[in-house]
Chains A and B, each alone.
Chain A
Amino acid sequence: MAHEGSILTAADLAGNGARGDDPDVHGKFGIFGGRYVPEALIPALDEVAAVYEKAKNDAQFLSEFDHLLRTYAGRPTTLTDVSRFSEQAGGARIVLKREDLTHTGAHKINNVLGQALLTKRLGKKRVIAETGAGQHGVATATAAALLGLECVIYMGAVDCERQALNVARMKLLGATVVPVTNGSQTLKDAINEAFRDWVTNVDTTHYLFGTVAGPHPFPEIVRDFARIIGVEARRQMLELTGRLPDAVCAAVGGGSNAIGAFHAFIGDEGVQLHGYEAAGRGLESGEHALTLTSGSVGVLHGSRTYVLQDDEGQTIESHSISAGLDYPGVGPEHAWLKDSGRAVYHGVTDDEAMAAFSLLARTEGIIPAIESSHALAGALVLGRELGPEATILVNLSGRGDKDMGTAMKYFNL
């Protein structure tokens, strides 16, 4: 993708699977993943998997996806050397992958364009999606408008209030936004409600899932559509620095931007992979989203993975200043990368993330999403550990325009 004129290949999309990093036929990454859903949904999941399997090896599909990524999403996105910011990281060279420069302002556009094309191939005319902060909802509404699909977005009533601007954007794009008033009225309840819609309307509707969680085949499909981030970045790093980075850093909520950034590097043993979860107000406070770093293995939203849960398997509500990381589950492939030791996961508090948010704005003139600021905060610490010879690639998953309300309150602006 980074080479002008080259078309996205099947290998770019799905990798080559040669390193054992593809799930088995049941969607299992080791003990993680699988399908824990009502039997009624199994045929639909089988259909999505079969249509995707065909599409990913179909030159026409690849060409359509490639065309949209270039001419609509604005790919390839550039790398940016951030030398002034790097001074605060012990002199390690920090390079940003600029997903914030894509259309709609976040990496989410990659997945929704891929799945919207898939919806057409499924012969369905309606998409539904869940959203927390509204970013995946806005991205889905955008792709639906582009491809002429009916679009319904489920969003927790609490989130609708916190993110009124995104609700307005979705409506402007022609989507119906349904506030979800049951449970904790946030992302996890929006997912429950989207599943209820799907099981009722599965004949006409595709559930355009927003992250690498959920039942098989969603973790694999969403990963493949996000994978372009790392595919581009790997080529671009070789061009820019002449070698691979020492580490790749990304924020982890459900985990789609992180898996997108990591996946092309999994086979590069010298490249460390670091994921940063939201530590919120700190582990001890109980108000955090430290699923991988403090959760336990369980089943949530159709998949076996790490979950924030009590001793009887009831989901515990998460907290983060960043709505995009405020989720008590995580994609099963991250659970597998954690247990295999290939990736390492850390917590970053609200305060640490907001300090990095402010620092990048002041040193580089880039206002990052608060989600991405967790990875930036992590890179500052990692840079000091790895030393001045190190090169660190940070996935800047989105821009911070959406976060100005939070920033105004936090910094008294």
Chain B
Amino acid sequence: MTTLQTVFAKAKADNRAALVGYLPAGFPSKDGAVAAATTLVEAGCDVIEIGLPYSDPLMDGPTIQDAVHRSLVNGTRIADVMRTVEGVAATGAATLVMTYWNPIDKYGAERFARDLANAGGAGTITPDLTPEESEPWRVASAGAGIDTVFLVAPSSTDQRIKAVVDCCTGFVYAASLMGVTGARESVNAAAEGLVQRTRAHTDLPVCVGLGVGTGGQAAEVAAYADGVIVGSAFIRRMLDAPDEAAGRDSIAVLAKDMAKGVRR
């Protein structure tokens, strides 16, 4: 079994959804990112997504834009992303990289897949890589033994959902709403329908992201999804904290609340 399969099997056995936390590499600092992700794992996150900071994050809202901008200003490189993955994977959590396609393309698909596998990474989530353009990455990832996660959206037709899930291994990322990343007042009602439509085409776990920011929302999503993905809400707390240690304390509180939420 792959790391991801183990995580979802365990969560299923516990009759709960998995909790997935997102943080960009290099934020709030290179070492600080590993420490923050470790805090999330200790507080109950089963899976960690490490964001690869990119200059043109067109699917991200202001919170993640701010964090990745700071990370890039700090000089974060792909080698730092790999070191971050290595540090987080050492905690035992399944660790993925979430990245726009161009950095992988430029680095070289085979080299990126190999380096990520060597760092202990479980796979990638590539939000702007469509099924039509994904073949080189799926081949490279299969060769390195890592998973490829792609996104479906509320606007996706059943035909598109099928095309996307056929490219996925590990799990499917269902974007809960039409929009960019960021916590919202409520989780979009369309998310549940999307998860159901996705399940009609795959046996893979389906995780819901975009707009989840509280334990209550996590519980709501956990009622119909295999995993709950949280990013901006953690990052917002870290941006608002006076220092890194206070940021970790703050996200630990939220992550514990979320971990309770997925177990309700």
Contacts and interface: CB of A to CB of B under 8 A. Distances in A.
Contacts, number: 113
Contact of B132 (A35, A44, A195): A35
Size bin of chain B's contact surface: 35 or more
Interface residues of A, number: 37
Nearest to B61: A196
Interface string B62-99: 10011001001000011000000000000000000000
B151 interface: yes
Interface in B2-36: none
Contacts of B133: 34-36
B58 A39 contact: no
A122 interface: no
A311 interface: yes
B54 to A, nearest CB: 7
B102 A300 contact: yes
A36 B106 CA distance: 14
Contact of B56 (A39, A300, A312): A300
Contacts of A202: 155, 178
Contacts of B160: 39, 42-43
Interface in B174-207: 175, 178-180
A286 to B, nearest CB: 16
B18 to A, nearest CB: 22
A315 interface: yes
Given A36-B128, A40-B154, A182 B65 contact: yes
Interface in A24-44: 26, 34-44
B83 to A, nearest CB: 14
A217 to B, nearest CB: 14
B105 A298 contact: yes
Interface string A185-211: 000110110011001101100000000
Contacts of A188: 56
B145 interface: no
Contacts of A196: 58-59, 61, 179-180
Q: Could you tell me the dominant secondary structure of chain A's interface residues?
A: mixed
Contacts of A309: 102, 106
Interface string B36-54: 0000000000000000001
A302 interface: yes
Interface in B121-159: 127-130, 132-133, 150-157
Nearest to A27: B132
A301 interface: yes
A183 B70 CA distance: 10
B216 interface: no
B103 interface: yes
Contact of A313 (B105, B130, B152): B105
A63 interface: no
Contacts of A195: 58
A94 interface: no
A188 B65 CA distance: 14
A191 B103 CA distance: 19
B215 interface: no
B106 A39 contact: no
B224 interface: no
Contact of A37 (B78, B102, B128, B164): B128
Nearest to A38: B59
Nearest to A182: B65
B180 A301 contact: no
A273 interface: no
A34 B135 CA distance: 13
Interface string A302-320: 1000010101111100000
Nearest to B126: A36
Interface in B213-254: none
B130 A299 contact: no
Given A183-B56, A192-B56, A199-B180, A39 B78 contact: no
A35 B130 CA distance: 7
Nearest to B103: A313
Interface of B: 54-59, 61-62, 65-66, 69, 72, 77-78, 101-107, 127-130, 132-133, 150-157, 160, 164, 175, 178-180
18 contacts: A35-B130, A38-B175, A39-B152, A39-B160, A40-B151, A40-B175, A43-B155, A43-B157, A182-B62, A183-B56, A192-B57, A195-B58, A199-B180, A298-B102, A301-B56, A302-B128, A314-B55, A315-B55
Interface of A: 26, 34-44, 182-183, 188-189, 191-192, 195-196, 199-200, 202-203, 296, 298-302, 307, 309, 311-315
